[in-house]
Amino acid sequence: MSSAQSGVVLISRYMESVLNGDYATMSELLSDKLLHNLSRSGIEVKMATKEDAIQYAKDTGKVDVRFHDVFESGDKVVCRYEYTISGEVVPGAQPGTSTNVTGIAIVRIENGKIREIWQEQDVLGMLLGLGMTVLRPEARQQ
């Protein structure tokens, strides 16, 4: 990166585009070789292309993202974030509900674009906040 703040600025622009549903800017900031690893409490969501990531964002809809910490080290930017999600976009959620979801993302920048993203989110908290019943796999079969 050319300056100490350039990775943080790039991530800020990316998250603003997610917040505003600005998919053209998302496309501009994501590498054509993007690999996005999203783990939602052990449920892996692999996105092999930037088109996958943009479609995932479109399917989720606009979200109210708030950053609590963002810092840069070498070619990586790390951020701790929180967003509010509506039960309307989560299958099986109680109607009219919404909740906050917390997470951490590590982003690798290559040639001024987002090349890799590793994300971990608190899905159990999200499911409970949306009024969903959470059962262990062995309990579901009974």
Cα–Cα distance, 39 to 76 (Å, whole number): 18
Structure confidence by residue, pLDDT tens digits, 25-62: 989 999 998 888 876 555 556 666 788 778 877 777 66
Q: What is the DSSP pairing of strand 30-40 with strand 113-121?
A: parallel
CB 83 within 8 A of CB 66: yes
Cα–Cα distance, 97 to 120 (Å, whole number): 22
Q: Is residue 76 in a domain?
A: yes
Structure confidence by residue, pLDDT tens digits, 69-104: 889 999 999 999 898 888 887 778 888 898 898 999
Q: Is residue 13 in a domain?
A: yes
Q: Is residue 142 in a domain?
A: no
CB 75 within 8 A of CB 7: yes
Q: Is residue 1 in a domain?
A: no
Does the predicted model carry a pTM greater than 0.85?
no
Q: Is residue 139 in a domain?
A: no
